[in-house]
Amino acid sequence: MASRAKISIIGGGGNVGASCALWASVKELGDIVAVDIPQAEGVVKGRMLDLVQAMSMERSDSGVLGTTDYADIAGSDVVVVTAGLPRKPGMSRDDLIKTNVAIVKSVSENIAKHAPEAIVIIVSNPLDAMVYTAWKATGFPTHRIIGQAGCLDVARYKAFIAMETGFSTEDINALLLGGHGDDMVPLPRYTNIAGIPVSQFISDERLNEIVERAKKGGGEIVQLMGTSAYYAPAYGTIEMVEAIVKDKKRILPCASYCDGEFGINGLFVGVPSVLGAKGVEKVLEIDLNDDEKALLKASADHVAELVDVVKNLEPSLA
């Protein structure tokens, strides 16, 4: 019998990281190692001990370890990176770049040292720049570096459509492309409810308002509670982890490396991606109209600008 998957979470003592550990344990996806900095040793060990006790009631047998030692991630199938400063009110994702690029670079170097065969999922913001940072710092092939953004953005979009229509979220199918947040590219043409075009239920004007709310979904939560969201970002991440460890070949919107797809070269941008045991097994190109192409190009251009900032901050990543 094959051994269970090993899933490591860097930043596991934080809200997003601990929530990732929770969802992965509830789904019993494998054994979990939550890593955090020495200053947070008590927090990460305490949160994981709390989780172990909760899982005894859930009847989940996932092993759970809280640690500050990167050596414990050895043999990981998937490593999730949530490390970095969270957004504060009035702060854009781009404001985070100077601090978080250094953190993600250091984390990525430790992943390369201790878990060189792992598939890496980046959650840290600004997402698109951090995925590039992790790619360069690990030296891993592009199919083993993925950014989680699209799953979260689509979830927010679907949630708002369900709130508007009263229909079950199970029957809402949607797709978004491009960068995370304000740069996302909505695709109402690819949005349906049980196969019925969403336009039959929601006017174009109202749908545009819903799209705008989805774009600013993270900022809305920051304003309400003073820090970044964590339940939904974590669940979006575990949706990706599950697709990989179970080799499900799911089509999910992820920040994946584009090598000519959609006319984008050398950047990690949100695109429909087939996720399986090898990581990103294929980027799916879909037909876009002229307006959608223009929006995606603008989004990719902004990702390129962020990558240039990373290169200037850390010449070793160029």
Indicate which residues carry an active-site annotation: 180
The sign of the torsion formed by the CA atoms of 171, 175, 180, 183 equals negative
Name residue, tokens 């979830």. Answer: 155
* Contacting residues for 109 by C-beta, under 8 A, at least 6 apart: 137, 138
Are the beta carbons of 18 and 90 closer than 8 angstroms? Answer: no
Strands (E), 150-304: 172-173, 176-178, 184-186, 192-193, 196-197, 250-259, 265-276, 279-283
Q: Choose among 172, 110, 113, 121: nearest CA to 143.
A: 121
Name residue, tokens 């040292």. Answer: 113
Helix (H, G, I), strand (E, B) or coil at 94: helix
DSSP state of 201: T
Beta bridge partners of 203: none
Q: Are strands 119-122 and 145-147 parallel, antiparallel or unpaired?
A: parallel
Per the omega criterion (within 30 degrees of 0), is the bond before 197 cis?
no
Q: Are strands 265-276 and 279-283 parallel, antiparallel or unpaired?
A: antiparallel
Are the beta carbons of 199 and 188 closer than 8 angstroms? Answer: yes
Angle between helices 204-215 and 150-165 (to 10 degrees): 140
